[in-house]
Amino acid sequence: MLEKFPVNPPAPEGRVITCVEALREGLRQLMEQDPSIFLIGEDIGVYGGAFGVTAGLVDQFGEERVRDTPISEAALTGACVGSALTGMHPIGEMQFSDFVVLAMEQLVMQAAKIRFMFGGKASVPMVMRLAAGSGTGAAAQHSENLENWFVHVPGLKVVMPSNAYEAKGLLVSAVYDGNPVMFFENKLMYKTSCAVPEELYSIPLGKANVARAGKDLTIVATSIMVQRSLEAARQLAAEGIELEVVDPRTLNPLDDETLVNSVIKTGKLLIVHEAVQTGGFGGEVAARIAASPAFGYLEAPIRRLGGKDMPIPYNRNLEKHAVPQVEDIVEEARKLVRGAY
């Protein structure tokens, strides 16, 4: 099915929409052309979802294909797994990614393992959309980044778009991947805008994007941290420091080749993510670079910049200091380039 969609088409001039609009457009277009696709989740019908992504879709497709569920993450995930096994393409939505902990049995013990346990004779082509991240004053139980939990589970794919263009294209690929996909959408990203093609298109899973070319330092950043790293790069360019910003797009599968080639080019690496630093994805990237041909090109220690090892505070000032901000990225990058480590 993916073969029918253009891959990485150029973004059109003059058509700028938000990430919420891009996701809604992608969902609507997918459902219009494929009756096996349906949406299921908490308050996604009349209410339009916790962040408005599914607004209006129940009016077009009805309650059979935009299905509100009880507030039970285990139940809606089980429904996704079961329907996917029968040939449907369910797209689930949880109000906040934190609540995914209530569905771990269905995701880890069932969805991730069924294809392997049945020798490929059964598959679970489902997508679980999850609103993640801090910055909205939603406090400790509604602001987490748990993506690395799922990277650790064989059989699950993990996608983290960084803007509206990436979100729509990666969603198309996730729906037709044939495997269960965890689709993490940063809440602050929803209102950001960029140019997005109107037609359906795909962005391949497992292929990173060099969001900005540079020669002095490689920054590998995920989700909203891509946007913050690009802003840091713009600020440091005024000082004559050129950062290369690499967006993995998908954490599993991970595009090792693009990351390795970038580090060989620049000789320095900074990894930035919002999730807490201990046990975060940055450690995996650092380990892979250390075991690759890029290790011999390193001119400085690999550095990680992640969230502090604490629950996200409710207080807005404390919340801001709990996760990397643009100024933190600028400071770390400047130290690495200038040999302060």
Q: Which CA distances in Å does 23 have to 18, 48, 166, 194?
A: 9, 13, 10, 13
Q: Specify the DSSP element, H or E, that contains 243.
A: strand 243-247
Say if strands 217-221 and 269-276 run parallel, antiparallel, or are unpaired.
parallel
Which tokens belong to 72?
């039970």
- Closest C-alpha among 339, 306, 334, 333 to residue 134: 306
CB 191 within 8 A of CB 131: no
Name residues whose C-beta falls within 8 Å of residue 223's C-beta, 6 or more positions apart in sequence: 132, 133, 145, 160, 161, 162, 184, 186, 189, 273, 274
Contact 107, 77 (CB under 8 A): yes
Indicate the angle between helix axes 256-266 and 281-290, nearest 10 degrees.
70
Q: Which residues are catalytic?
A: 73, 142
Measured over all CA atoms, what is the biggest interatomic distance in the chain, rounded to whole angstroms?
60
Q: Is-cis flag, bond preceding 154, omega within 30?
A: no
